[in-house]
Amino acid sequence: MRVAFLGLGIMGHAMATNLVKAGHEVAVWNRSPGKVVEGARAAASPADAAQGVEVVWLCVSDTAAVESVLFGPDGVGQSLTEGMAISDSSTISPTATRKFAERVAPKGAQYVDSPMTGSKAAAESGALLFMVGGDEQAVEKLKPLYAAMGKKIFRMGETGKGQSAKLVMNLQIALIYEGFAEALTLAAKLGVDAENLVHLINASMVKSGVVEYKAPFVLRRDFSPNFPLRLMRKDIRLALEAAKEARVKLPGLETVEEVYDVAIEEGHADLDYAATLLLLEKWAGVEVKGEAA
């Protein structure tokens, strides 16, 4: 298929690369110049990338970025044609997603929200999970592209439901990790070995995919960004905004948001979200260490 891929960040670059490897004809664009994908055409603008393609795929930082790429100067909107599909793997507001879909519909374009879950390694290996919102026919059209980048898709309903599901997923990730980080901090203060604690967690009902994935990084003090802290805070705020619209109270997430706010004030914005541990350690006057540290 002819695809425009817009946004070559930690996840997007790997996703675009896998589309090229799968034999698709790909044009790429990134807001910051200099990023390239071998085998893909480097476009001068979103509008340029979208010229003559069947699918426009986005993976950018936030709601404002999606709106700019689609409808700003030199945006995709200039190149929309009847039958084109737009698939957005950014994590953004479900309400804004529905509005964007309404704006492209008069030109005959279909809009699918396709946020994903999985690590940087999953993006590189083509093992992402996509949670999808959109018309069944449009989703069916995109299946060869999902297959090139991921291992499974879950259609959650109409447009906007994929984004809603993603916010609910990241809410859980943030809370689960924060519980783990607080447990490690208290354990360190009480003299419990971190390695032994992780072995216990993984053998018990407390075990989770979040802990299983993050624990090795934490134990070797590796906070390089697989998912930057600033982006997790963005998603926490999106979840809280969605909850406010739906008149739902999320007291746990509200508290975790405060931790993220202070962690960013402490200069950890571009580290992995696991770096909230650094703030907890500072407050407790301890440092969590594993044998590999």
Residue with tokens 């700019």: 68
Q: From CA 163, how far away is CA 58, in angstroms rounded? A: 13
Nearest C-alpha neighbor of 85 from the set 48, 134, 22: 134
99 is catalytic: no
- Start-to-end Cα distance in the chain: 46
Residue with tokens 């999106």: 238
Q: Which residues pair with 155 in a beta bridge?
A: 132
Contact call for residues 61 and 35 (beta carbons, < 8 A): no
Helix (H) or strand (E) holding 149: helix 136-149
Nearest C-alpha neighbor of 148 from the set 194, 99, 114, 199: 114
Q: Which amino acid is at 181?
A: A
Q: From CA 159, how far away is CA 174, in angstroms rounded? A: 25
Q: From CA 92, how far away is CA 88, in angstroms rounded? A: 9
Candidate list 99, 151, 152, 166, residue with the active-site label: 166
Residues marked active site are found at 166
